[in-house]
C-alpha cells in the first residue's frame, strides 16, 4: 500500500467540539500573551502560513488535484475540495472582480467560531485569521502569491463570513543555477 493511497482513502473523523475548543484555546492564549489584537492577528496569520505550506502537500496527495489552468479553477478547488476536506464546509465563490484576479469565499457557517462570542474589548481581533494564513501559505507553495483577508465575519455581526482573496503574482520558480 502506498502512502498516497492510504491518505486518499481514509478520512479520520475528529470531534468538532474538541477541534473548535482547541482553536479557541489557541486564540485566547495568544490574546493573553500579546494583549494587542493586531499582534494576535499577525500571529494567527503566521501560524496559518506555517500550516498552509505543509498542508498543501497533504492536500495534493489526498485530492490528486492536478494543475489549475486559471485562478477561477483554483478558487473552485479551494472552495469545493479543500474546504470540504478539512473543514467539512463548502463556501461559495462569488464577487469576482472584473479582472478575474479577486474573489470572495462566502462561508455560511464557520466551524472555527462555533460557541465563540467576541468580547467587547477584542473588537480588533480577526478570530479566524489562521485561515488566511493557511490559504496564503498553501498557494505560495504552488507558485501563487495571494492576499487573503476577512471582509466580513459573523463574529462581528455580519450575516456571513467572507474571505476575500486577491491574486498578486505568479511566483517564478527560482531554481538554482545549473538545475535546468
Partner 1 sequence: MAVCIAVIAKENYPLYIRSIPAENKLKFHYMVHTSLDVVEEKISTVGKALVDQRELYLGLLYPTEDYKVYGYVTNSKVKFVIVVDSSNTALRDNEIRSMFRKLHNSYTDVMCNPFYNPGDTIQSKSFDTMVSGMMLQAC
CB 131 within 8 A of CB 155: no
* Residue (123 or 174) nearer to partner 1, CB: 123
Task: Round to whole Å and give the CA distance between 135 and 160.
Answer: 19
User: Least Å distance between CB 160 and partner 1?
Assistant: 17
* Residue (28 or 109) nearer to partner 1, CB: 28
Strand-pairing partners, residue 152, are: 162
Neighbours of 171 (CB within 10 A): 13
User: Least Å distance between CB 85 and partner 1?
Assistant: 24
User: Least Å distance between CB 106 and partner 1?
Assistant: 22
* Residue (25 or 145) nearer to partner 1, CB: 25
Q: What is the largest CA-CA distance in the chain?
A: 57
User: Least Å distance between CB 41 and partner 1?
Assistant: 16
Task: Round to whole Å and give the CA distance between 162 and 154.
Answer: 9
**Phi, psi at 113, each rounded to 5°:** -105, 10
* Residue (9 or 121) nearer to partner 1, CB: 121
User: Least Å distance between CB 123 and partner 1?
Assistant: 12
* Residue (39 or 101) nearer to partner 1, CB: 39
Torsion angle of alpha carbons 11, 19, 54, 35, nearest 10°? 170
Binding interface with partner 1 (CB under 8 A):
17, 20-21, 23-25, 27-28, 114-119, 122
**Phi, psi at 166, each rounded to 5°:** -125, 130
Amino acid at each position: 500500500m502506498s502512502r498516497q493511497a492510504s491518505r486518499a482513502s481514509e478520512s479520520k473523523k475528529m470531534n468538532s467540539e474538541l477541534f473548535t475548543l482547541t482553536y479557541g484555546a489557541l486564540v485566547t492564549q495568544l490574546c493573553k500573551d500579546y494583549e494587542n489584537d493586531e499582534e494576535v492577528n499577525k500571529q494567527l496569520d503566521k501560524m496559518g502560513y506555517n500550516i498552509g505550506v505543509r498542508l498543501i502537500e497533504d492536500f495534493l496527495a489526498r485530492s490528486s488535484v492536478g494543475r489549475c489552468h486559471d485562478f477561477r479553477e483554483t478558487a473552485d478547488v479551494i472552495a469545493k475540495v479543500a474546504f470540504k476536506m478539512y473543514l467539512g464546509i463548502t463556501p461559495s465563490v462569488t464577487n469576482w472582480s472584473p479582472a478575474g484576479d479577486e474573489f470572495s469565499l462566502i462561508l455560511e457557517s464557520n466551524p472555527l467560531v462555533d460557541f465563540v462570542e467576541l468580547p467587547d474589548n477584542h473588537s480588533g481581533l480577526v478570530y479566524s485569521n489562521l485561515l488566511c494564513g493557511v490559504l496564503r501559505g498553501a498557494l505560495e507553495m504552488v507558485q501563487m502569491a495571494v492576499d487573503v483577508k476577512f471582509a466580513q465575519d459573523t463574529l462581528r455581526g455580519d450575516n456571513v463570513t467572507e474571505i476575500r482573496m486577491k491574486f498578486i503574482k505568479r511566483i517564478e520558480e527560482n531554481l538554482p543555477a545549473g538545475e535546468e
